[in-house]
Structure 1
Amino acid sequence: MDKLNAQKGVKIAVGAVVCVESEIRGDVTIGPRTVVHPKARIIAEAGPIVIGEGNLIEEQALIINGYPENITPDSEFEPKTMTIGINNVFEVGCTSQALKIGDNNVIESKAEVGRNVILTSGCIIGAFCRVNTCEVIPENTVIYGSGCMRRVQTERPQPQTLQLDFLMKILPNYHHLKKTVKSGHNPS
Structure 2
Amino acid sequence: MPGTEISDIKIYPKSIVCEDSQLRGDITISSGCAIHPSATIIAESGPIILGENCIVEEYSTIVHRIPSDHPLFEEGKTPVLTIGPNNVFEVGCRVEAYKIGEKNVFECKSFVSPYVSVSSGCIIGAGCSVQGKQDLPENTVIYGKDCLQREAIEKQGSQTLQIDFLRKVLPNYHHLRKANYDPKKARAQI
TM-score of the superposition, structure 2-length normalised?
0.89
User: Would the aligned equivalents of 2:22 and 2:39 in 1 still touch at CA under 8 Å?
Assistant: yes
Match of 2:103 in 1: 104
2:46 is aligned with what amino acid?
A: G
1:135 aligns with 134
What residue in structure 1 maps to residue 11 of structure 2?
A: 12
Runs of 4+ in 1 over 3 A off after TM superposition: none
Q: Say if 1:125 and 1:143, in contact at 8 Å, map to a contact too.
A: yes
Instruction: Give the letter for the 1:94 counterpart.
Output: C
Aligned letter for 2:150?
R
Aligned residue in 2 for 1:64: 63
Distance 1:55 1:39 in 2: 16
Is the contact made by 2:4 and 2:22 (CA closer than 8 Å) also made in structure 1? no
- Does structure 1 conserve the Cα–Cα contact (< 8 Å) formed by 2:32 and 2:52? yes
Query: What one-letter code is carried by the residue in structure 2 that aligns with 1:26?
Result: G
3-state secondary structure, aligned to 2:141: strand
Secondary structure of the structure 2 residue equivalent to 1:171: helix
Stretches of structure 1 that go unaligned for 5 or more consecutive residues are: none
Q: 1:170 to 1:4 in 2, by over 3 A?
A: closer
**Aligned-pair distance for 1:158?**
1.0
User: Is the contact made by 1:99 and 1:115 (CA closer than 8 Å) also made in structure 2?
Assistant: yes
Q: CA deviation at 1:70?
A: 5.2
Gaps of 5+ in 2: none
2:49 aligned counterpart, secondary structure? strand
Is the partner of 1:154 in helix, strand or coil? Answer: coil
- After superposition, the CA RMSD in angstroms is 2.1
| Contact residue 123 and residue 156 of structure 1 kept, 8 A | no
1:50-89 correspondence runs (5 A): 50-68=49-67, 76-89=75-88
Instruction: Report the number of matched residues.
Output: 181
Residues 139 and 70 (structure 1 numbering): CA distance in 2 closer, same or farther, change over 3 Å?
A: closer
